[in-house]
């Protein structure tokens, strides 16, 4: 089968053997897969690795083989891949043996994937293959940060800096569906227009003074994945007693914190990462209930995976970048 892998110091399209199913595994004929920012970091994290690794955490397809002891699925079932490995029920933190599909395990940028029957869920019937393939990692990450950790309600005004990422586009839709007011930001004028169309109530230019722009807003919840570039700016506009959920650091990881102002304001900083199967199922139910759709930026054939990676690396996208296998 064709697969897009990290091998040596490069990403390459190559041929890989199709793996037969183990006792409790299914093999999925993938129709589409989507990119996530973590795919860009594989090269640095696997420097010197002697074996090839198939990239990709998200995908959707049709089950074409089941292991002898599989009970949940049958050949022909249409499924999405759950990339959150071995984390099944809600907990304050992931279990010790938790991993994300696509490193160290082979991922979804291939024509097939063989995976535990516990790691797939039914597709949503109102979505295309490309849309179903874009759901899991970004959607469940946003759901946990916003709903499980952030405890968003209709009483909240939520600020989501950097609104054009895949995760952020889900959070904007979820927060609006649950009745919250949503503020977001982007440096790009065209993306700001798209964010308004998506449903954001107020969209800031990332470069403007947030304190001035938000003087008439009461920001009770901030969901931030940018890191150092926005961390203190986010705290400065957060209401006294508000909560800041951090689930990423696309800029630098380390920050400085004015502790006195922080504890005087009695704010809360909450960490969040990925999500469990239970939260994925809750997210999928919400997407179905409100008939929400992923925001797709563009679609490439698997043979053009390098071009798709380049688009993501340059942060040109609005929403999800997708690969198709057909």
Is the full-model pTM beyond 0.85?
Answer: yes
Residue 279 falls within a domain, yes or no?
no
| 143-166 mean pLDDT | 98
Do 144 and 29 belong together in one domain?
no
Which pLDDT score is estimated for 49? 82
Residue 85 falls within a domain, yes or no?
yes
Band of residue 266 on the pLDDT scale cut at 50, 70, 90 = very high
Please give the Cα distance from 93 to 116 (Å, whole number). 22
Residue 41 falls within a domain, yes or no?
yes
Q: What percent of the chain has pLDDT over 70?
A: 100
pLDDT tens per residue, range 116-135: 999 999 999 999 999 999 99
Phi-psi group of 24: left, alpha or beta (phi > 0 → left; psi -120 to 50 → alpha; rest → beta): alpha
Residue 285 falls within a domain, yes or no?
no
Which pLDDT score is estimated for 216? 96
pLDDT tens per residue, range 282-321: 999 999 999 999 999 999 999 999 999 999 999 889 999 9
Do 221 and 255 belong together in one domain?
yes
Do 150 and 130 belong together in one domain?
no
Question: Per-residue pLDDT for 271 more than 90?
Answer: yes
CATH number at residue 252: 3.40.50.720
Band of residue 146 on the pLDDT scale cut at 50, 70, 90 = very high
Do 174 and 213 belong together in one domain?
yes
| 53-76 mean pLDDT | 98
Tokens of 19: 């793996």
Number of domains in the chain: 2
CA-closest candidate to residue 130, choices 303, 300, 311: 300
Which pLDDT score is estimated for 196? 98
Pairing of strands 78-81, 120-122: antiparallel
- The count of other CB atoms within 10 Å of the CB of residue 15 is 9
CATH number at residue 52: 3.90.180.10
pLDDT tens per residue, range 156-174: 999 999 999 999 999 999 9
């Amino acid at each position: 089968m064709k697969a897009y892998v990290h091998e040596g110091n490069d990403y390459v399209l190559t041929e890989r053997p199709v793996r037969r199913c183990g006792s409790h595994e299914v093999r999925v004929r993938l129709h589409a897969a989507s990119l996530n920012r973590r795919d860009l970091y594989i090269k640095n994290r696997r420097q010197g690795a002697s074996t090839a690794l198939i990239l990709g955490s998200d995908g959707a397809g049709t089950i074409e083989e089941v292991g002898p002891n599989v009970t949940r699925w049958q050949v022909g079932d249409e499924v999405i891949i759950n990339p959150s490995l071995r984390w099944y029920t809600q907990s304050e933190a992931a279990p010790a043996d938790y991993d994300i599909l696509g490193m160290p395990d082979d991922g979804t940028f291939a024509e097939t994937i063989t995976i535990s029957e516990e790691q797939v869920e039914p597709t949503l019937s109102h979505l295309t293959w490309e849309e179903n393939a874009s759901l899991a990692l970004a959607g469940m990450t946003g759901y946990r940060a916003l709903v499980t950790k952030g405890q968003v309600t209709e009483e909240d005004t939520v600020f989501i800096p950097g609104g054009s990422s895949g995760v952020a586009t889900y959070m904007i839709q979820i927060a609006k569906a649950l009745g919250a007011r949503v503020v977001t930001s982007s440096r790009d004028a065209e993306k700001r227009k798209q964010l308004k169309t998506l449903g954001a109530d107020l969209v800031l230019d990332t470069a403007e003074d947030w304190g001035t722009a938000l003087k008439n807003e009461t920001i009770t919840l901030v969901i931030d994945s940018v890191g150092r570039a926005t961390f203190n700016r986010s705290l400065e506009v957060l209401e006294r007693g508000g909560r800041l959920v951090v689930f990423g650091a696309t800029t630098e990881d380390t920050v400085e914190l004015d502790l006195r102002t922080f504890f005087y304001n009695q704010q809360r900083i909450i960490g969040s990462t990925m999500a469990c199967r239970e939260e994925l199922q809750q997210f999928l139910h919400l997407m179905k209930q409100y008939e929400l759709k992923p925001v797709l930026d563009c679609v490439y054939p698997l043979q053009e995976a390098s071009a798709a990676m380049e688009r993501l690396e340059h942060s040109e996208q609005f929403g999800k970048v997708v690969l198709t296998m057909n």
